[in-house]
Amino acid sequence: MILISKKLWYGISALLISAITLYLYYINKIGYFINSNYYWYLLVSVITIFIFTVIYFWYLIKNGHKPKPARYSQYIFGSLLFCIFVSLFIVPIKPLGAESANYAKRGNSKKAAQKVQYIAKSPESISSLSLIDWYSLATLSPNPNQYNGQKAIIKGFVSEVRDGGFDLSQYQVSCCVVDASLYTIPVKTTQKIPAKDTWLNVEGQFEIIGQKPNIKYQLNFIKSEVIATPDDPYKSK
Amino acid sequence: MFFNFERFYITSLGIVFGAFPFLLLGVVVATAIQLYGKKEWFALLTRSHPILSHLYIALFGLFIPVCECGNIPIIKKLMIRGFSLSHAVTYLLAAPIVNPVTIFTTYQVFSDYPGLVAFRIVGGLILSIIIGMSFIAIGNPRQFLVPSLKREIELDEESNNSHSGHGHNHKNKIEEFSSHFIVELVETFKYLFVGSIIAAFVQTAVPREFFVQIGSNPLLSLLVMILFAFVIAVCSNVDAFIALSFSNVFSNASLLGFLVFGPMMDIKTVSMLRSIFTNKFIAMLTAMIFTGTIVLVYCYYLVNLIGIV
């Protein structure tokens, strides 16, 4: 008995591939998987697939076809795709968070070094720096002590909680989550600390501790505000 | 916690989405080759002097900016259009390394180490040609192809001999293109999907620190970086950024191993290559790439030792 024909299976699979990606765009969560620079490439790709799938189905219906049964492996793959599609409605989709910190590499980006040079030239832009920028200033700037006592408002998620403070972190990705780098800044506070993975805007004073090469840095807490998980959590600013 | 499902879920889909635009480009090129590519055009490339023909084909990647995933459907169609096994392997290994995006990102990240950049690009190119050319003397190269591809090649030859085209001349161009495009896309995507799941599983189960810890020994660090390149399955366009993050832990020689081996072979590629080659051939090719990478890294080490780069 032919449950589904081979040709129909190809069309349904392509449709499921488009549906999974388009749904993630629709719920604004595609940014949890890839760098925001890739949004358009991926969107154009998936729309192309969708258009060709519609054309494929149009001709399939118009011309009819001689049904050939799909192979077992095709059923398995089709079922997997279907499960992924269903899982989008069941599994809570979250960006990389505190649990993934042990698996991620630590930030050490050359782009960050270039940013430091830029910031050094225009210190007035300092109030708008991201967590990754502050990390770069502390670790890569030739004279990080000049930023001591600067007021900073930094967005990130709580990645580690300990006595007297917590770690505020952000991931940065070049292409997709597989190449994520983790950037962290310790926050010193005596206030109640939110749970891990909570996204915050933390206002504090930047402090450099020690001298190069064993330089350390922290943010002395002034106040914080809980915010919703951003649509593009890996974007620097 | 041993296994973090959320990370596994997001990583496996992330790999798929990251590869998607390149895969699509590869499928479009492959479909165009299948429908409009003439055997005579490719014969011009492949019938010149063996070394020159392999060099031309290796440099083909300069004009098609797709990484390893996008190359798989292209190779399949090139083989149907008359590429020999040696030419196909050369293109497979060289294209992800000589593609313009890879060259740009490698140079951008490692501009302080021009020797490393040169060894990756030029060394990788030479290695691809040598490995590819080692298959010239193989008696029956079709023994390494999966039955479905063998059938496709035979059907193509039969249709050429009988001058009856592909037997679907009654179809209009849009119908023909969309039909080939969808079949090719789904067939290739299937393997990308399985490869991504395996790569994400390994990465979720084995913390990155594990690789760093066992890689403190100089010789071991090279093997660890090659193994890491195999399991991480990251796109060749951005792998230089990953290598950079290990630059304070591993030597440049080990990083070179990562940058040369990774684009040529990884978990995802193995899965995708199974749509073209037999398991035996994939194992043999992996062993050759591994050996070639070790030799290339050793050359880099020697050149560094005598202070040329």
The total of structural domains in chain B comes to: 1
Domain limits for position B151:
5-305
CB pairs under 8 A between A and B: 139
Q: Which residues pair with A199 in a beta bridge?
A: A157
Question: Residue A111: what pLDDT?
Answer: 47
For B245, the closest of A30, A92, A108 (CB atoms) is A108
Q: How far apart are CA B283 and CA B92, in angstroms?
A: 15
Look at residues A10, A56, A52, A68 and name the one whose alpha carbon lies nearest to residue B171: A56
Distance in Å, alpha carbon of B73 to nearest chain A alpha carbon: 16
For A41, the closest of B1, B21, B179 (CB atoms) is B21
Look at residues B179, B182, B13 and name the one whose alpha carbon lies nearest to residue A81: B13
Q: How far apart are CA B217 and CA B11, in angstroms?
A: 29
User: Can you list the pairs that B167-175 forms with residues at least 24 positions away whose Cβ atoms lie under 8 Å?
Assistant: B174/A55, B175/A55, B175/A59, B175/A63
ipTM comes to 0.86
Asked if B244 and A108 come within 8 Å (Cβ–Cβ), the reply is yes
Q: How far apart are CA B73 and CA B189, in angstroms?
A: 10
Asked if B208 and A178 come within 8 Å (Cβ–Cβ), the reply is no
Q: Is the pLDDT of residue A117 over 60?
A: no
Distance in Å, alpha carbon of B125 to nearest chain A alpha carbon: 24
Average pLDDT rounded to a whole number, residues A42-69 = 89
Asked if A10 and B17 come within 8 Å (Cβ–Cβ), the reply is no
Residue B101, classified by CB atoms within 10 Å of its CB into exposed (0-12), middle (13-18) or buried (19+), is middle
For the segment B147-204, what is each residue's pLDDT rounded down to a tens digit? 989 998 888 878 776 654 444 555 688 888 999 999 989 988 888 888 888 888 887 8
For the segment B61-120, what is each residue's pLDDT rounded down to a tens digit? 888 777 788 889 899 988 988 889 999 999 999 999 998 888 988 887 788 889 999 999
Does B291 contact A at CB distance below 8 Å?
no
Token pair, residue B110, equals 């490692």
Count of positions (residues) in chain B: 309
Distance in Å, alpha carbon of B42 to nearest chain A alpha carbon: 28
Q: How far apart are CA B225 and CA B255, in angstroms?
A: 7
Does B107 contact A at CB distance below 8 Å?
no
Of the residues B241, B242, B248, the best mutation for testing chain A's interface (the one with the most A CB atoms within 10 Å of its CB) is B241
Architecture (CATH level 2) of domain A100-226 = Beta Barrel (2.40)
A-chain CB neighbours of B235 within 8 Å are 175-176
Q: Which residues pair with A188 in a beta bridge?
A: A165, A220
Does B208 contact A at CB distance below 8 Å?
yes
Distance in Å, alpha carbon of B182 to nearest chain A alpha carbon: 7
For A103, the closest of B7, B14, B248 (CB atoms) is B7
Strands (E), A79-196: 105-106, 151-162, 165-172, 181-188
For A176, the closest of B18, B208, B246 (CB atoms) is B18
DSSP structural state of residue B162: T
Q: State which residue of chain A sits closest to B14, comparing Cα positions.
A: A33
- Which residues have C-beta within 8 Å of that of residue B37, sequence separation ≥ 6? B77, B81
Whether A38 contacts B101, CB under 8 Å: no
For the segment B4-29, what is each residue's pLDDT rounded down to a tens digit? 888 889 989 998 898 888 888 888 98
Write the Ramachandran bin of A97: left for phi over 0, alpha for psi from -120 to 50, otherwise beta. beta
Question: Residue B37: what pLDDT?
Answer: 81
Percent of chain A's residues with pLDDT above 90: 35
In the stretch 149-178 of chain B, residues with CB closer than 8 A to chain A read 174-175, 177-178
Look at residues B32, B40, B128 and name the one whose alpha carbon lies nearest to residue B87: B128
Q: How far apart are CA A72 and CA A231, in angstroms?
A: 39
Q: How far apart are CA B218 and CA B257, in angstroms?
A: 12
Q: Strand, helix or coil at B16? A: helix
Average pLDDT rounded to a whole number, residues B224-250 = 81
Q: Which residues pair with A218 in a beta bridge?
A: A207
Q: How far apart are CA A211 and CA A188, in angstroms?
A: 19
> Using CA atoms in the order A57, A62, A67, A73, what is the torsion angle rounded to 10 degrees?
-10
Token pair, residue B143, equals 């023994």
CA distances, A151 to each of A167, A194, B60 (Å):
18, 22, 53
A-chain CB neighbours of B108 within 8 Å are 110
For the segment B253-293, what is each residue's pLDDT rounded down to a tens digit? 999 999 999 999 999 899 999 999 999 999 999 999 999 99
Distance in Å, alpha carbon of B113 to nearest chain A alpha carbon: 13
